Chain A
Amino acid sequence: MRFTGTRGMSLGDPAASDYESRIEISPAPAVGPVGGAGHIAGPNRHGSEAVRSFLKRYLVAMLVPLLFILFSLLAPSTFFTAYNIQTILTTNAVLIILAVGETAVLVTGEFDFSFGGTLGLTAAIVVMMISNLHGVSSGEAILVSLLAALLVGTLNAFFVIKLRVKSFIVTLGMGTLTTGIGLGVTGSQTVSNPSKFLTTAMTKHLLGVGLPFFYGLVLIIALWLIFEYVKTGRNMYFVGEGRKAAFLAGIHVNRIRVGVFIFSALCAWLAGMVMLGQTTAVDATYGGPYLLPVFASVFLGFTTIRAGRFNALGTLIGVLVLAIGSTGLEILSVASWVTQVFDGGVLIVAVALANILGGERIDRWL
């Protein structure tokens, strides 16, 4: 790389380099591939274009019924039962809730890897406060854990926005840090849930499906509404797609970025409460295994419904694909390690699909 065209890597003040690249209005920019994505597909491409655009939107969404039918045929007596469907939905509530938070963060072009730690920490706080401190009610303990989650979200935002550390790094560190504190709080023990309130709230059923699934569903719907029908949602997308343009257009870029980190931490807190209520015992590391399924779901969602955008319904579909796939494989009594192979494989395939269908834009994230 000697003195070749290096326009893109000019140095110094970024604003100045913006202008440098404009120096000498040679006609190239008008027709170069950069500005010229505007060649509209000719009529001969209409047919394939339509197929492409359909696939682009619904390929992953179609996996939900396809996988469902596949496993139902393979295991009609165990998979295709109301009980199994109810179980799938109930047990994946935590995943849905975490994925909602992550979707909001990814839309703005950031990452949050800390949800697992936040989940473990908040659950640990509740358990230890109730069991070790006399006279602390469930409500008080839950409130304290909520404050802890708020603190984690605020700290993430502080480091990312104020101190300009990449969210990738900050949240990766924060995830491990909070897990560590969680282990400290519980003395590295698996502790059992003393909160009757949580157990009741998280194990009640509606139509045979645990309530937490409906909490997740409400969050999905809320997120969908925000993205589609609320100004802030549109602005979140702008922040992710063109932070500089959004800033110059007078959008509160940093307010939005702070908001999503806090939102994500709150989702992790809710997921922690759900997990605590649904299981009899927890350990501060219980959030860790969710890292991959959460990202796999959200990226699967990126490829469908509103292909090329992180979107709430897509995320729900992503969760369902993973949930049906892994439950189906378990029911077929394939060894349990297959679930991990499936989750990991799906993530890679999802992102590859997004690349093929969505063009180069996804490169910015991955």
Chain B
Amino acid sequence: MAGGGSALEVKELEMRFGPVTALSGLSLAIDQGEIHGIVGHNGSGKSTFVEILAGSHVPSSGRMELFGKQVEFPGTTRLRESYPLVVVHQDVGLVGSMSVVDNFRVNRFRPGPVGTIRWRDEHRLTRERLKALGVEIEPKRLVEELSASDQVLLSVARALMDLEEIRERATDKSQSIMILDEPTSSLPSGTVDSFLETIRDVNRTLGTTVIIISHNPREIMALSHRFSALKNGTLVGTYPTGEVSYTELAALMAGQNEKDFELAGTVKRSGRGVSRNPKAPKMLSVSDLRGDRVKGVDFEVDSAEIVGITGLLGSGYEDIPYLLSGSQAKESGRVVFHDRELERINPRKFKDSGAILLPGDRQLTSGIQAATVRENMTMGHLEPFVRRGLLRHRSERQTVGKMMERMRIRPRNPDRPLNEFSGGQQQKSLIGRCLLRSAKLIVIDEPCTGIDVGARNEIHATLREIADSGSAVLITSCQYEELPMVCDRVIVLQNGQIAGELSGDEVTEEAILKLCYMDAETFAGWQPKADRSRGS
């Protein structure tokens, strides 16, 4: 490690979004020349931390030092560009419809004598730079045609170019920081190692300080010198990577669960009054489901049961609802619902078979924001309100009004556009769609993203009601803390395959997180008490 002292230090960072606190007094120091990992699970504040460094957010309070000098937070482009700091974003920040050279040299083209771009020189430069990173890409190609790993490498190459500019200006050449936000999340697994090697090289040869945000414990173990674990917007601790075992790291990444689990009591698991014959066919049974990211998954959901499917982002769990409903093409898989195999499925047939899918994005995929609550609630199943070919508005309005009353959606005006309601009220309205249709199978993607606790509890209670009425409920969610509150069983995916299944009392946030991060053997050997690293 070159230099000494800290490259970046933040003190007492506070960041609030409305009523939600994302960072509460985060203090963190990163040494010059090190590779520093930042870990923590969803909501720990690590993304907010990156956003602040990238200048997209300015914290409510706190201080920031770069190489020992106190600086302002980089809220403006001018400030951002004056700092020896480059960020490679998760979604890599490239323009897909433009060429590699355009993306690579954006804003940096060197004009020729009459102000025109010397394309030949630019192409040569781009080709050389990419080659230095071990990739051979034709600069004329469009970025969207590149593989995911080449895209990541392109954005790293661009960041390195920025760094070089910074170093040209800087007095101390080693004073530069590169921040990588989940850089490997879109990389195919085979290319991760060489990518990490590239980063290691950059760190070693240029003396660049590297901050890497990752949810992958292997990556942190392999790459970082030290890492900091974040939780609930504060620092749990900073640890030298060499002195921490893999299991300890995974436990730290998972965070602890001192969250108030009394909330979990709000939705009582039904005693499953429906007595079940274990041999009877299940309401839904899926075998060998395969898609882009799903690699052979089998599971069953019974009537009166709520099953959750989760995993880390990219593990494939998020595709399950869309593979089931046929909106994403599946490579293979047998889906039997209600004793009938769903073949050559599409959303229309899925609906007609008596199932309902509620997608995960209220803005784009589940709700029509400009349409009224009434229209949203009855979308896709207007038939009960049609008599002699004509829609009966009165009966539709009445039914929706009753549902709004039942779901406690305020204000209770069926003819108000969806976008005039809060996120929680919107989601309740969309769940109302599932209730209106007494479907035998309800598949809900991310039922409680971005909504308040009150609405969440109400939604959980409703889902339980639906299940108790004899339907099968399948939830996919990355909100690990909510799954134990509502699910009877939780299936966790890793790399497109089932890493484990939890049921009954085993379903805890902690267990889910461990399953997300650990391989099966490690998980089997995991004892909660072994968690020495629990501080605070």
A24 touches B42 (CB 8 A): yes
Across the interface, which residues of A come within 8 angstroms of B446, CB to CB? 22
- Inside 8 A of B151's CB, which chain A residues have their CB? 11-12
A19 near B318 with CB under 8 A, answer yes
- Asked if B55 contacts A28 (CB within 8 A), the reply is no
Contacts A38-B423, A241-B370, A308-B370; is A15 near B55 (CB within 8 Å)?
no
Instruction: Please indicate the chain A residues that have their CB under 8 angstroms from the CB of B352 in the complex.
Output: 250
Which residue of chain A is the closest to B479 with respect to CB atoms?
A25
C-alpha spacing A1/B325, complex, angstroms:
38
Residue of A nearest to B47 (CB): A24
CA distance A39 to B95 in the complex (A): 34
CB distance from A239 to the nearest CB of B (A): 10
Select B313's contact among A11, A19, A242, beta carbons within 8 Å. A19
State the Cβ distance, A202 to closest chain B Cβ, in Å. Answer: 31
Interface string of B369-407 (1 = CB under 8 A from A): 111000100011011001001110100000000000000
Instruction: Give residues of chain B (305-358) contacting chain A, Cβ–Cβ below 8 Å.
Output: 313-314, 318-319, 322, 325, 327-328, 347-352, 357
- B183 contacts partner chain A, Cβ-Cβ < 8 Å: no
Main secondary structure of the interface of A (DSSP, over half): loop
Are B380 and A251 in contact, with the CB atoms below 8 A?
A: yes
A289 interface residue (CB < 8 Å to B):
no
Q: Tell me which of A91-99, A229-237, A327-335, A341-349 binds B.
A: A229-237
Asked if B210 lies at the interface with its beta carbon under 8 angstroms from chain A, I say no
- Tell whether B292 is near chain A: CB-to-CB under 8 Å: yes
A20 to B183 CA separation, bound complex (whole angstroms): 12
Contact of A30 among B17, B93, B357, B386 (CB under 8 A): B17
> What CA separation (Å) do A31 and B16 show in the bound complex?
10
Number of CB contacts from chain A to chain B under 8 A = 213
B17, B185, B327: the one within 8 Å of A247 (CB)? B327
CB-CB under 8 A for A6 and B367, given A22-B446, A245-B359: no
Q: A40 — which chain B residues lie within 8 A by C-beta?
A: 411, 420
Number of interface residues of A (CB under 8 A): 58
Q: Of the 9-residue stretches B111-119, B188-196, B448-456, B457-465, which lies at the interface with chain A?
A: B448-456
Annotate A22-36 by CB proximity to B: 1 below 8 A, 0 otherwise: 111111111110111
Contacts of A247 in B (CB 8 A): 327, 347
The stretch of B83-91, B245-253, B295-303 that contacts the partner chain: B83-91
Pick the residue among B92, B186, B360, B368 that contacts A238 (CB under 8 A): B368
Contact B364 A4 (CB under 8 A): no
Counting CB contacts under 8 A, is A43 at the interface?
A: no
A163 within 8 A of B: no
Between A and B, 15 residue pairs with Cβ closer than 8 Å are A2-B162, A3-B88, A3-B162, A6-B89, A10-B92, A20-B186, A23-B182, A26-B43, A30-B423, A242-B367, A244-B364, A244-B365, A248-B357, A249-B351, A250-B351
- Which residues of A are at the interface with B, using a C-beta cutoff of 8 A? 1-7, 9-13, 15-32, 34-40, 225, 228-231, 234, 237-238, 241-242, 244-252, 308, 361
Q: A12-B186, A29-B423 are in contact. List 19 more A-B contacts (CB 8 A).
A: A2-B81, A2-B106, A3-B87, A4-B56, A12-B148, A15-B319, A20-B186, A25-B42, A25-B43, A26-B22, A27-B17, A27-B22, A29-B450, A38-B419, A38-B421, A38-B423, A229-B393, A241-B371, A250-B351
